A and B are shown apart, each in its own frame.
Chain A
Amino acid sequence: MRYDVAGRAERLQRRFTSPLHEERAAALLGLALGVSFTVCFATGLYSHWAQHPPSWFVLPARPAGLYRVTQGLHVATGIATIPLLLAKLWTVFPNLLRWPAFEDVAHAVERVSLLPLIGGSLLLLFTGLANINGWYPWRFNFVVTHYWTAWITIGALIVHAGARWTTTWHALRPQVRTSGDAATPDRRVFLATLGGAVALVTLATVGETVSPLRKLALLAPRRPDTGPQGFPVNRSAIAAGVTTSARDPAFRLRVEGNVRRHLTLTLDDIARLPRADATLPIACVDGWSTSQRWTGVRVRDLLDIAGARRGATVLVESLQQRRSYRSSELNHVQARDPDTLLATHVNGEPLHLDHGYPLRLIGPDRPGVMQTKWVTRLVVR
């Protein structure tokens, strides 16, 4: 006897009786996800360009809190997307059981693009959540894979949006909403519940960057008021292997490269230079941020003493010997900004070893990983 696949699939699909598996709920969630994925992609791209600037991109120094906002938004939106995506997948799940699976080549392409769309979305959200918690249970590099998977996923999202364009806007038209739509009360409760879920995960985590809400950040991996000197640390001095070299009396700051005279400064020399204060955020790529008052010497003053040309860029190097974040680049705008400091103090106290004692870079609108700690050399270019 011939196995009736189509009949079986149709009967199985009919078992999903909830009116929430309908186009309007799917369209509303699709719209919300379109916005959240666009926000995550745009802010992620900004973070990527900030750390690996293409030739045409100059990371601005103002507004000083821009990166804090974009990266805070990236992580908060990612977390809020978790319930949105799961709800959307639940809403459209019966479509998986359709038979025939596709009608023609165009339909097949659209359905196949769901694999990278859904797989990519789940991968991005899971790896992102694990990364902000410092957990890496996979064998690929998080940053590089997260970045390229984001391109794949956003491409699949564009394919999907094009294929669902007409359906979505049709489902959102007011006449569809009011024409004896039996699903309306249930759908409203469903969407209100989902709104509550989004609010819950957001309120329970966003305090890691929005400090007035920090007491509510019960599920966040960071608290902006917890750590040495009252704020968090991304990499400790022990992890960086600098506990001895940072405290060595032979410590010197060198300013070298394309300058008229090379400088070699002791901490006493640095203490005698003009001091400057700046209140600036540390804004980590992991989504937490905190504003502190820093004191130190302006990088531009050091460049002037060394006779660097205006428009010079600066490579800031750490005592840290290993890993990719042991140095960072100051472009010509950031190097000349009056708030870009080599800080020796925070909130009036000498820096804690974990915050970069004896010298750390702090500048406006920079990712936390580029606020290089334990600075020992400026290479002017």
Chain B
Amino acid sequence: MSARDAPRGRAFWIGLGVGLAVMAYGFAGLLAHADATRPSQALIWLVGADVLHDAVFVPVVLAIGWLVGRLPAPLRWPLRASLVGTALTVAIAWIPLRGYGRITDNPSLAPLDYGVAIVSVVTGVWCVCALWAAFNVVAARRSRRATGVER
């Protein structure tokens, strides 16, 4: 850890004072409205989100990232971008795709065919990234050829 990384100085103490006061207000509100917030439930979700991210989501991303790192350099970023775009598209549209919030008497909620929507968006993402990869491959070949000529 670099020296300047340690929390010190005026900004730290002001941030700590103000931030802890605001947090205390938030916790007090959460507890004061316990009937609605069910603090134990809220806490389980709050800590659970942390644990789920660190223990499940990150290892999966690291494993995929490690695999992508084995590929030739010109393909890596286009593939990373495609995977990010795909994951986000599915994450955003997962709830309407599964119909979790759908109500039969209100067809204006989640009105689209989200399977088709996901496929359309993901196809667009992969097409753009394929062009990007093709550009990278051509650029890498040219660069190798140019280096060869110089030799």
Q: List A residues at the B interface (Cβ < 8 Å).
A: 79, 82-83, 89-90, 93, 96, 98, 103, 106-107, 109-110, 113, 115-116, 118-120, 122-123, 126-127, 129-130, 133-135, 137-141, 143-145, 147-167, 170, 189, 193-194, 196-197, 200-201, 204-205, 218-219, 221-223, 226-228, 231-236, 238-239, 354
Inter-chain contacts of A147 with B (CB < 8 A)? 29
List 19 interface pairs A-B (beta carbons < 8 Å), by A numbering.
A109-B16, A115-B47, A129-B92, A133-B110, A148-B27, A148-B37, A152-B23, A152-B30, A155-B23, A158-B22, A159-B15, A162-B16, A163-B15, A165-B15, A196-B81, A197-B88, A200-B89, A219-B92, A233-B108
Interface size class of B (residues with CB under 8 A): 35 or more
Query: Which residues of B, 1-31, contact A by the 8 Å Cβ criterion?
Result: 1, 4-9, 11-16, 18-27, 29-30
B95 within 8 A of A: yes
Give chain A nearest CB distance to B54 CB in angstroms: 7
A227 CA to B5 CA, complexed, in Å:
54
A113 to B26, CA, bound (A): 13
Interface centre among A82, A127, A159 (most CB of B within 10 A): A159
Quick one: given A135-B101, A162-B19, are A90 and B88 in contact (CB under 8 Å)? no
Instruction: List A contacts of B107 (CB < 8 A).
Output: 227
Q: Please name 15 further chain A to chain B contacts, defined as beta carbons within 8 Å, in addition to the given A129-B95, A162-B13, A200-B125, sorted by A numbering.
A: A93-B54, A93-B58, A118-B53, A135-B95, A144-B37, A154-B22, A158-B22, A162-B18, A196-B81, A197-B84, A200-B85, A219-B92, A222-B108, A222-B111, A236-B106
CB-CB < 8 A to B29: which residues of A? 147-148, 151
Residues of B within 8 A of A232 (CB): 108-109
What 4 pairs across the A-B complex have the smallest Cβ distances?
Answer: A162-B15, A151-B26, A155-B23, A155-B22
Least CB distance from B123 to A in Å reads 11
Residues of A within 8 A of B13 (CB): 162
Is the beta-carbon distance between A119 and B49 smaller than 8 angstroms?
A: yes
The 8 Å CB contact of B100, one of A137, A219, A238, is A137
Residue B105 interfacial (CB < 8 Å) = yes
Provide the bound-state CA to CA distance between A221 and B16, in Å.
39
Q: Is B138 located at the chain interface by the 8 A CB criterion?
A: no
Chain B residues lying within 8 Å of A133, measured Cβ to Cβ, are: 95-96, 100-101, 109-110
Give A144 to B29 CA distance when docked, in angstroms. Answer: 9
Please name the residue on chain A nearest to B125 by beta carbon: A200
* Residue among B46, B54, B102 with the highest chain A CB neighbour number at 10 A: B46
Decide if A167 touches B18 in the complex (CB within 8 Å): no
Q: Using A120-B46, A222-B108 as known contacts, say yes or no to A193 and B80 having CB atoms under 8 A apart.
A: yes
Cα-based distance from A107 to B23 in the complex (angstroms):
18
Is residue B33 within 8 Å, beta carbon to beta carbon, of the partner chain? yes
Closest to B97 in A: A219
Partner of A140, one of B37, B53, B61, B108: B37
- A115 and B46 CA atoms in complex are apart in Å by 8
Contacts of A197 in B (CB 8 A): 81, 84-85, 88
Whether the Cβ atoms of A163 and B25 lie closer than 8 Å is no
Q: How far is the CB of B26 from chain A (nearest CB, A)?
A: 3
Q: Is the CB of B92 within 8 A of A158?
A: no
Q: How far is the CA of A308 from the CA of B27 in the complex (A)?
A: 43
How far apart sit A153 and B30, CA to CA, in the bound complex (Å)?
A: 12
- Inter-chain CA distance A238–B11, complex, in Å, is 55
Cβ of B127 under 8 Å from chain A:
no
Asked if B147 is at the interface (CB within 8 A of a chain A CB), the reply is no
Cα-based distance from A197 to B77 in the complex (angstroms): 13
Using CB atoms, name the residue of chain B closest to A171.
Answer: B4
**How far apart sit A150 and B26, CA to CA, in the bound complex (Å)?**
7
Contact A156 B92 (CB under 8 A): no
Q: Give the Cβ gap from B137 to chain A, nearest Cβ, in Å.
A: 15
Give the residues in chain A near B118, CB-CB below 8 Å: 219
Q: Do A149 and B91 touch across chains, with their CB atoms under 8 A apart? A: no
* A113 proximity list for chain B (CB < 8 A): 19, 23
Chain A residues within 8 Å of B30, by CB: 145, 148-149, 152
